[in-house]
Amino acid sequence: MNKPTDEQWEVIYSSTVLYKVEMLKDLIENEDIPAVIVNKKDSSYLTFGEVELNIRRDDVLKAKLIVNRFLSDE
């Protein structure tokens, strides 16, 4: 999927650890909320950059509750 346009999507979580973002994406999609991962990590130097989780603006509040629950369980 292409990078979401700024008007419709908002970054609700970012991390340098891809698997955490993927886990969150799965949790959010299980609640029927569309989610898109945008990988901004440098392909040559994987220590630079982050992976972002984008949600449609209409779903941000519900998705942030899921993110907060996930982070509190860590």
Structural domains of the chain in order of their starting residue, each with its CATH number? 9-73 (3.30.70.1530)
Helix, strand, or coil (residue 8)? coil
Per-residue pLDDT of the chain (74 residues; tens, 9 = 90+): 555 566 799 999 999 999 999 999 999 999 999 999 999 987 777 678 899 999 999 999 999 999 999 999 87
User: What is the predicted pLDDT for the residue at 2?
Assistant: 57
- How big is the CA angle at 58 (ends 69 and 16), to the nearest 5 degrees? 50
What gap in Å lies between CA 4 and CA 56, rounded to an integer? 9
Global pTM value: 0.81
